Amino acid sequence: MNKLTRVVVTGGAGYIGSHVVLALGEAGYDVLTYDNLSTGNRDAILSGELVVGDLADKDLLIKTLTEFNPAAVLHFAASIEVGESVSNPLKYYRNNSVNALNLLEALRVTEIGQMIFSSTAAVYGNPTQLPVTEEASLQPINPYGASKLMTERFLSDLALANDDFRYIALRYFNVAGADPETRLGQDYANPTHLITRALKTALGIFPQLQIFGTDYPTQDGTCIRDYIHVADLAQAHLDALRYLTSGHSSTIFNCGYGHGFSVNAVVSMAKKVTGVDFPVVETDRREGDPAALIAGCERIRKDLDWRPRFDDLEVILHTAWEWEKKLATRDA
Ligand code: UDP
C-alpha cells in the first residue's frame, strides 16, 4: 500500500469524524480510526479499521501509529460543548489540550510529520469585526475555545521548531446536517446543539426547545451562527489533506459559508422543514455564547479551491431531519 494513502483519524467514530472517514474511504484512502467510543459509535465507521483506544494511552497510540504508519493524522477526538466547558473546564483542558499534546508527542516518536487539526471558531471569542478572518485576534470566552487555542499553539510552536512537521488547523463554525444519503448523522446520547435539539423536539423526544437569550445585539435579539453542512466540511478536510501532503506550509483555514442565521431563523426553518409547530420557550442566555459568529472564508475558497455544495439552511435541516427520522425508527 502506498504510504500516501494511509491516514489515522482520531475521533473517527464521532459526528464529524465519521463523515470524514466515509469521504476518505470513498476517495481511496486507507483509514484507521482511533477512538475511545466515549461519545462515538462503532456503527458510524463506514470505512477502514477501528482501534478502540484513548489518547491518554500513549503506549497504544505509539504502537498503533507505528504499525499503521500513516502519512498524516486527522485529529477530531475532543469534547465539544461550550456550556459544559464552562461548568467543567478541566475536562476540556484534559481532553482537548493534554490529549492533543500526547498525540503530538506520539507523532514525534513515530516520525509522522503531517496533521490536520479540528479547531473551532470559538478561538475568536466575541469578534469585533464580522465576518471574522483568520487574522482576527484570538480571545476565547469559554474553556472550550481556550482548550482548542492551546492546541493550535502547540502546533504552531512545534512546526516552527521542526521543519519536518507541518499542520493545517481548520476552524469550524457551526457544523450541522447529515450525510445526504442518510448513512450517517449526529448520534449522541444528550445532544445540545441547536439544530439537533430543534429536530428532536419536532419528533417529540424533547418537550420543548429553549431559545437561550433574546437580548443579544443582533437584529432579532438571538445569536447568529454560520451553519456549515457536515459533508462540505468533510470535503474541506480532503482538500486540506491533499494540500498538506503536496508539500504546502502549515496554515489555518476558517470553515464556514460567510453568512449567518439567527436562532429564531433556524427555528422557523426547522418548523418549515419538519412541518411541525413544536413548542419553543425563550429563556436566559447560556454562559459562554458570543452574539454572532460568521466566517471570513476567502482563504479556504482560494487556497484549497474548496467548493461547497450544500450552502443552504433548508438543505442542512432537510438532511438532518431525514437522519433524525431514521434514528427515531432505529431507537423505537
Ligand atoms: N441554542 C439555543 N437552544 C438550544 C441550543 C442552542 O438557543 O437548545 C443557541 C445557542 O445559545 C447558540 C446557538 O443556538 O446561540 C448555537 O448553539 P450550538 O450549541 O448549536 O452551537 P455553538 O455555537 O455553541 O457551537
Residue 144 annotated among the catalytic residues of the structure? yes
- Ligand 1 pocket member 210 (CB < 6 A): yes
- Ligand 1 pocket member 188 (CB < 6 A): no
Helix axes 15-26, 230-245, angle to 10 degrees: 60
Ligand 1 center–CA 24 separation, angstroms: 29
Average pLDDT over residues 255-279: 98
Cell reading at 111:
516520525
Ligand 1 center–CA 98 separation, angstroms: 26
Atom of ligand 1 nearest to the CA of 290: 15
pLDDT digits (tens, 9 = 90+) for 230-265: 999 999 999 999 999 999 999 999 999 999 999 999
Cell reading at 152:
493550535
Catalytic, out of 15, 29, 34, 144: 144
Binning pLDDT at 50, 70 and 90, where does residue 287 land? confident
Pairing between β-strand 114-120 and β-strand 166-172 as defined by DSSP bridges? parallel
- When the pLDDT of each residue in the chain is averaged and rounded to a whole number, the result is 96
pLDDT digits (tens, 9 = 90+) for 133-143: 999 999 999 99
pLDDT digits (tens, 9 = 90+) for 79-126: 999 999 999 999 999 999 999 999 999 999 999 999 999 999 999 999
| pLDDT at residue 4, as a whole number | 56
pTM of the model: 0.97
How is the chain split among helix, strand and coil, in percent rounded to 5?
45, 20, 40
| pLDDT at residue 112, as a whole number | 98
Domains observed in the chain: 3-176+227-255 (3.40.50.720), 194-225+258-331 (3.90.25.10)
Ligand 1 center–CA 251 separation, angstroms: 28
pLDDT digits (tens, 9 = 90+) for 297-330: 999 999 999 999 999 999 999 999 999 999 999 8
Contact present, 241 and 74 (Cβ < 8 Å)? yes
Res. 1: pLDDT tops 60: no
